[in-house]
Amino acid sequence: MENTKHQIHDMNKKQLRSTLRKMLSRNISRQLQREKSKKACRNLISTPEFQNASVIMMYLAIPDEADVTDAIISAWREDKVVIVPKVSWQQKSMIPVRIESLETVSIESAISGLRNPANGVPVGVEEIDLVVAPGLGFDTKSNRLGRGGAYYDRFFADKKLKAKRCGFAFAEQVVDSVPTTDTDQRIDFLVTDEQIMYFKNNV
């Protein structure tokens, strides 16, 4: 992975997304994804941010994303409110909606492969204590590389949102440097299957 890190240091966003997508499909089998996701969930559950949160926004993972299901189930066991993003394609925004079961939530499949909840009660962003966000790549300076839609960047830019922001990914998705623009939003800490990384420089 060290060689790869040096090779991708000077890539732009499009190139880095392509490189990370190829890496995920080639290097991480479905079985390995499951194992790594479980480890990452154990790390996430162990954080004070998760333990102290009453309302946690997570997500419905797509095939090559770290799966946060174990953390969702753990949150329910501890009587926490779990919400996931419902994407509004017309407004190009995410609406946080509460879900109470992974079995009963109706899923809309989109062209992008995104799993969009078709039902769920909307929750005000000001009520959220912790947002667990996926991404294609993260660096060690609190930057996140999304899939190009900027949905999380717009969501994080909402002034009413006071929640801690947690990136959630496989260790292989952590790179030396993610290219950024003025509209990119940073995270407060990053959880992978191998580590928990806090960013003190983030405001």
What is the dihedral sign for C-alpha 170, 29, 57, 179? positive
The CATH architecture one would assign to domain 2-195 is 3-Layer(aba) Sandwich (3.40)
pTM strictly above 0.85: yes
pLDDT 10s digits, 145-172: 998 888 999 999 999 999 999 999 999 9
Domain extent listing, the chain: 2-195
Please return the burial class of 10, using the count of CB atoms within 10 Å of its CB with bins 0-12, 13-18 and 19+: exposed
Q: Judge whether residue 4 has pLDDT over 80.
A: no
Instruction: Give the pLDDT confidence of 43-63 residue by residue, as tens digits.
Output: 999 999 999 999 999 999 988
What would the pLDDT profile of 97-111 be if each residue is shown by its tens digit? 999 888 766 566 655
Range 135-152 average pLDDT: 92
Q: How far apart are CA 103 and CA 119, in angstroms?
A: 12
- Judged against a pLDDT cut of 90, whether residue 126 lies above it is answered with yes
